[in-house]
């Protein structure tokens, strides 16, 4: 028996623009094993971000079912989805999305606050920052950090609630190639050491090279699904 | 636990844009300041006015002849009228009565000084009814009243005019219209209250005034100028007034609607003035409330701008697991913080303003103390918090209702 952490069944997402309908996802089925590193590729407008939003429970599919970590989440209400996001999903965005007013450690604490954790938040946040190599920069604000460092803070924030999956939508897109490579290394290292399931949207073939599995989207469908032999999940 | 965290975060977010937060708060500061100052001035003024009315006596009823020309048949008020009213069997709501019969002005002399003044003939109860206290000696007694004794009680001003002092005068003689009167008491000073100086008086027994000083008695030897009745309490004044009217009407055989006397009470004045000050306070409070309202709209405006500016932040917070309620509370805390902090500053400002108004009033001779009551502070605090919450609800629920995907995409 395989341990599926993500199970998408015939997922459709239709955007209505007036009378025109856009099938951003057209009946997509996908299963992801726990501990996998999945790269999603495909041309612009192929539905990568739409798929990520549904996997991350930021949005609901128009039809189809979705099980995340054994729980049916396809038609949950807003607040229930918020709780799933909080407990089971860690997001890493292309543009980092840190709160500019708050320190690195306060940013990492944020998911714990919404989880209702009242004690030991700061300690847990600091542990995560040390894990991503930012032990010296805990009380710096985002403005005082480099792009690569900011993305590390975002990764620490994604990890702090011990989620089932980490979703990264073009995590290296705003970084130069060197810090991009470092961020990728960090994510892969976390996958190896902590067994975190990684889903990465990317245009970068170099990123895809390190994934255990690559799917290629076109017009809201999976055009190609390639499991690497060299990197078993 | 969450409350302090929310408060800290709200303060953090408000202080990132200090000028904007300050200007937004200014609306509430001015509104609350105006409410506090105007209420304080209103309360102080009405306390001063009702205080000076109360000092005259709110349970007194003054009965004087009706001077209206409509009244053709007119009987004078007499000592017997006063006694009838004073009888508890006739008028249970009345405690005491007294009369006043004024003679003069006549020449009064002592120790080589001569002045011209009116003399008040009164009964022994007058001191009790009018709340007079004696600095020295006693007031006129019943025996002196019935015995038509030649005794006098002087006010302090009169005593000083005649003797150059107001102490150690008991037993001295004062000549009124050339007749000697023995001084038996000096009335304690009541202070000049406005138009009449109540310390420039001489009281003698009513009977003495009629028999010794009156020029002519118009065939009515017991005629008085005024009867003063003291009701058992301020609340009993209307009832007592009815009793008085009944008694005098039947004694005077007056026609219906043609009373030959009129009643005056302090209550009429009191209720009119309290009505006026009440209306004034409401009016001033209303103006202040409008400025508070404008302040509240300012808060709503800024919060809406802030929600739009922070759309991405809201999307991010939702992505990280913030529920509707978390976002709602976050923004409500900000707007409530703005208005409550503004409210506290406003209370300080208003109290300072009221104090300054009090100083100016005292400097210009209108003694009154503005009262910044605990209730108006409480009112202002609750009111400003409510305004912050009320005008914060719409922006906050807009923020809370944002869809995470769209909010995250917002540029
Ligand atoms: N909110 C929306 N309303 C209408 N159409 C939308 C909306 N979001 C996405 N779409 C459409 O859905 C399709 C898929 O968009 P999506 O953002 O998933 O593409 P993508 O693969 O992430 O592209 P890119 O590589 O440029 O980020 C596109 O045709 C897009 O125009
Ligand atoms: Mg995209």
CB-nearest partner of B320 from A78, A110, A118: A110
Residue A232 has pLDDT above 70, yes or no: no
Give, to the nearest 10 degrees, the angle between helix B2-15 and helix B18-54: 110
Segment among A1-15, A71-85, B18-32, B281-295 with least mean pLDDT: B281-295
With 0-12 / 13-18 / 19 or more C-beta atoms within 10 angstroms meaning exposed / middle / buried, residue B96 is middle
CB B350, CB B37: distance < 8 Å: yes
What's the rounded Cα separation, in Å, for the pair B327 and B306?
Answer: 13
Top-confidence residue, B156 or A84: A84
Q: What is the ipTM of this complex?
A: 0.94
Residue B78: helix, strand or coil by DSSP? Answer: strand
Structure tokens belonging to residue B306? 């802030």
Residue nearest to atom 5 of ligand 1 (CA): A15
Distance A99 CA to ligand 1 centre (A): 26
Half-sphere exposure of residue B50, counting CA atoms within 13 Å on the CB side?
Answer: 17
Residue nearest to atom 2 of ligand 1 (CA): A15
Share of chain B above pLDDT 70, in %: 94
Query: In A, residues 37-76, which contact B (CB 8 Å cutoff)?
Result: 53, 56, 58-59
What's the rounded Cα separation, in Å, for the pair B29 and B343?
Answer: 6
CB-nearest partner of A83 from B319, B321, B405: B321
What's the rounded Cα separation, in Å, for the pair B198 and B269?
Answer: 20
The pLDDT score that the predictor gives to residue B194 is 43
What's the rounded Cα separation, in Å, for the pair B385 and B340?
Answer: 5
CB A157, CB A111: distance < 8 Å: yes
State whether the beta carbon of A44 lies less than 6 angstroms from ligand 1. Answer: yes
Share of chain B above pLDDT 90, in %: 19
What's the rounded Cα separation, in Å, for the pair A219 and A203?
Answer: 16
Distance A149 CA to ligand 2 centre (A): 23
Residues counted in chain A: 233
| Distances in whole angstroms, Cα of residue A80 to Cα of each of A84, A166, B255, B342 | 6, 19, 87, 37
Chain centroid, CA B103 distance in Å: 34
User: Could you count the other beta carbons within 10 Å of the beta carbon of residue B119?
Assistant: 23
Contact with chain A for residue B411, Cβ under 8 A: no
Contacts of A79 in chain B (CB under 8 A): 323-325
- Tens of pLDDT, residues B33-79: 988 888 888 778 777 777 776 666 678 888 888 777 776 777 788 88
With 0-12 / 13-18 / 19 or more C-beta atoms within 10 angstroms meaning exposed / middle / buried, residue B66 is middle
What's the rounded Cα separation, in Å, for the pair B357 and B41?
Answer: 8
Residue B217: helix, strand or coil by DSSP? Answer: coil
Average pLDDT value for chain A: 92
The pLDDT score that the predictor gives to residue B71 is 67
State whether the beta carbon of A35 lies less than 6 angstroms from ligand 1. Answer: no
CB B109, CB B175: distance < 8 Å: yes
Interchain pair A82, B318: CB under 8 A: yes
Among B199, B61, B210, which residue's Cα sits nearest to residue B129?
B61
Average pLDDT over residues A3-27: 93
Residue nearest to atom 19 of ligand 1 (CA): A45
What's the rounded Cα separation, in Å, for the pair B191 and B198?
Answer: 7
In angstroms, what separates the C-alpha of B346 from chain A's closest C-alpha? 29
The pLDDT score that the predictor gives to residue A78 is 93
Which pTM was predicted?
0.71
Contacts of B318 in chain A (CB under 8 A): 58, 82, 85
In the block, tokens 């009380």 appear at A139
pLDDT by residue, tens only, chain B of 411 residues:
467 888 888 888 888 889 989 998 998 898 889 888 888 887 787 777 777 766 666 788 888 887 777 767 777 888 888 888 777 777 788 888 888 888 878 888 887 788 888 888 888 888 888 878 888 888 888 888 888 888 989 888 888 888 888 788 888 888 888 888 898 888 887 755 444 567 888 899 988 888 887 776 566 677 888 888 888 877 778 888 888 888 878 888 777 777 778 888 877 777 777 788 788 778 877 887 888 888 888 889 999 999 999 999 999 999 999 999 999 999 999 999 999 999 999 999 999 998 898 888 878 766 677 888 888 888 888 888 898 899 999 999 999 999 999 999 887
Interface with chain A: mutation pick from B313, B319, B397, B405, highest number of A CBs within 10 Å: B319
The pLDDT score that the predictor gives to residue A126 is 95
The pLDDT score that the predictor gives to residue B123 is 87
What's the rounded Cα separation, in Å, for the pair A35 and A212?
Answer: 10
State whether the beta carbon of A216 lies less than 6 angstroms from ligand 1. Answer: no
- The domains of chain B are located at 2-53+271-409, 60-265
Interface with chain B: mutation pick from A13, A54, A58, highest number of B CBs within 10 Å: A58
Residue B384: helix, strand or coil by DSSP? Answer: helix
Top-confidence residue, B233 or A79: A79
In angstroms, what separates the C-alpha of A223 from chain B's closest C-alpha? 25
Q: Which residues are CB-contacts of B147 (< 8 A; sequence separation ≥ 6)?
A: none
- Tens of pLDDT, residues B140-174: 888 888 888 889 898 888 888 888 887 888 888 88
HEC readout, chain A: CCCEEEEEEEEEEEEEECCEEEEEEEEEEEEEECCCEEEEECCCCCCHHHHHHHHCCCCCCCEEEEEECCEECCCCCHHHHHHHHHHHEEEECCCCCCCCCCCHHHHHHHHHHHCCCCCCHHHHHHHHHHHCCCCCCCCCCHHHCCHHHHHHHHHHHHHCCCCCEEEEECCCCCCCHHHHHHHHHHHHHHHHHHCCEEEEECCCHHHHHCCCEEEEEECCEEEEEEECCCCCC
Residue nearest to atom 7 of ligand 1 (CA): A15
Distance A91 CA to ligand 2 centre (A): 14
Domain A4-227: give its CATH architecture.
3-Layer(aba) Sandwich (3.40)
What's the rounded Cα separation, in Å, for the pair B214 and B285?
Answer: 56
State whether the beta carbon of A46 lies less than 6 angstroms from ligand 1. Answer: yes
The pLDDT score that the predictor gives to residue A233 is 44
Interchain pair A102, B320: CB under 8 A: no
The pLDDT score that the predictor gives to residue A143 is 94
Interface with chain B: mutation pick from A113, A143, A163, highest number of B CBs within 10 Å: A113
- Tens of pLDDT, residues A86-123: 999 999 999 999 999 899 999 999 999 999 998 999 99
What's the rounded Cα separation, in Å, for the pair B325 and B317?
Answer: 12
Contact with chain B for residue A4, Cβ under 8 A: no
CB A232, CB A216: distance < 8 Å: no
Residue nearest to atom 18 of ligand 1 (CA): A47
The pLDDT score that the predictor gives to residue B272 is 78
Question: Element (H or E) spanning B175, and its range?
Answer: strand B173-176
State whether the beta carbon of A24 lies less than 6 angstroms from ligand 1. Answer: yes
With 0-12 / 13-18 / 19 or more C-beta atoms within 10 angstroms meaning exposed / middle / buried, residue A140 is middle
HEC readout, B323-383: CHHHHHHHHHHHHHHHHHHHHHHHHHHHHHHHHHHHHHHHHCCCCCCCCCCHHHHHHHHHH
Segment among A140-154, A186-200, B129-143, B307-321 with least mean pLDDT: B129-143
Residue nearest to atom 12 of ligand 1 (CA): A24
Contacts of B403 in chain A (CB under 8 A): 59
Structure tokens belonging to residue A67? 């099980």
CB B158, CB B257: distance < 8 Å: no
Interchain pair B321, A85: CB under 8 A: yes
The pLDDT score that the predictor gives to residue B168 is 84
Residue A50 has pLDDT above 60, yes or no: yes
């Amino acid at each position: 028996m395989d341990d599926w952490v993500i199970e998408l069944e015939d997922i459709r997402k239709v955007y209505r623009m007036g009378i025109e309908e856009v099938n951003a996802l057209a009946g997509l089925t996908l299963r992801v094993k726990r501990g996998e590193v999945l790269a999603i590729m495909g041309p612009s407008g192929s539905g990568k971000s739409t798929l990520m939003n549904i996997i991350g429970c930021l949005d609901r599919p128009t039809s189809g079912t979705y099980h995340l970590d054994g729980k049916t989440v396809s038609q949950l209400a807003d607040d229930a989805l918020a709780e799933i996001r909080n407990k089971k999903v860690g997001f890493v965005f292309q543009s980092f999305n840190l709160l500019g007013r708050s320190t690195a450690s306060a940013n990492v604490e944020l998911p714990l606050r919404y989880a209702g954790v009242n004690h030991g938040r700061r300690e847990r946040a600091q542990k995560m920052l040390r894990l991503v190599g930012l032990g010296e920069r805990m009380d710096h604000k985002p403005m005082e950090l480099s792009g690569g460092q900011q993305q590390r803070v975002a990764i620490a924030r994604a990890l702090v609630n011990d989620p089932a999956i980490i979703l990264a939508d073009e995590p290296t897109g705003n970084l130069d190639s060197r810090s991009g490579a470092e961020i990728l290394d960090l994510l892969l290292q976390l996958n190896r050491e902590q067994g975190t399931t990684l889903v990465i949207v990317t245009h970068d073939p170099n990123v895809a090279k390190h994934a255990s599995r690559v799917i290629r989207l076109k017009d809201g469908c999976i055009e190609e699904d390639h499991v690497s032999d060299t990197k078993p999940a | 636990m969450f409350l302090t965290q929310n408060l800290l975060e709200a303060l953090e977010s408000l202080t990132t844009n200090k000028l904007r937060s300050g200007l937004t708060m200014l609306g509430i500061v001015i509104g609350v300041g105006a409410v506090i100052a105007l209420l304080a001035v209103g309360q102080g003024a009405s306390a001063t006015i009702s205080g000076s009315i109360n000092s005259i006596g709110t349970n007194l009823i003054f009965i004087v002849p009706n001077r209206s020309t409509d009244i053709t048949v007119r009987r004078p008020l007499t000592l017997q009228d006063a006694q009838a009213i004073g009888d508890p069997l006739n008028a249970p709501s009345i405690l005491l009565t007294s009369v006043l019969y004024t003679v003069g002005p006549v020449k009064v002399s002592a120790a080589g000084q001569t002045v011209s003044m009116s003399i008040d003939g009164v009964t022994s109860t007058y001191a009790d009814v009018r709340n007079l206290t004696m600095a020295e000696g006693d007031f006129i007694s019943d025996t002196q009243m019935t015995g038509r004794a030649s005794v006098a009680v002087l006010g302090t001003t009169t005593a000083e005019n005649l003797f150059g002092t107001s102490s150690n005068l008991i037993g001295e003689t004062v000549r009124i219209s050339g007749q000697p009167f023995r001084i038996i008491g000096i009335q304690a000073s009541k202070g000049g209250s406005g138009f009449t100086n109540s310390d420039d008086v001489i009281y003698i027994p009513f009977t003495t005034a009629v028999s010794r000083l009156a020029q002519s008695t118009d065939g009515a030897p017991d005629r008085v100028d005024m009867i003063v009745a003291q009701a058992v309490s301020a609340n009993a004044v209307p009832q007592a007034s009815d009793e008085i009217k009944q008694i005098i009407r039947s004694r005077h055989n007056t026609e219906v609607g043609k009373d030959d006397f009129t009643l005056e009470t302090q209550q009429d004045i009191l209720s009119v003035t309290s009505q006026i000050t009440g209306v004034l306070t409401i009016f001033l409070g209303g103006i202040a409330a409008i400025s508070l309202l404008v302040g509240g709209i300012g808060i709503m405006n800024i919060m809406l701008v802030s929600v739009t500016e922070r759309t991405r932040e809201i999307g991010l917070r939702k992505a990280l697991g913030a529920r509707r309620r978390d976002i709602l509370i976050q923004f409500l805390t900000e707007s409530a913080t703005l208005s409550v902090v503004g409210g506290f500053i406003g209370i300080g400002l208003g109290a300072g303003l009221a104090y300054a108004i009090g100083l100016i009033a005292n400097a210009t001779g209108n003694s009154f103390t503005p009262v910044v009551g605990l209730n108006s502070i409480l009112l202002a605090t609750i009111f400003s918090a409510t305004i912050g919450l009320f005008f914060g609800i719409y922006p906050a629920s807009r923020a809370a209702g944002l869809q995470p995907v769209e909010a995250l995409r917002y540029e």
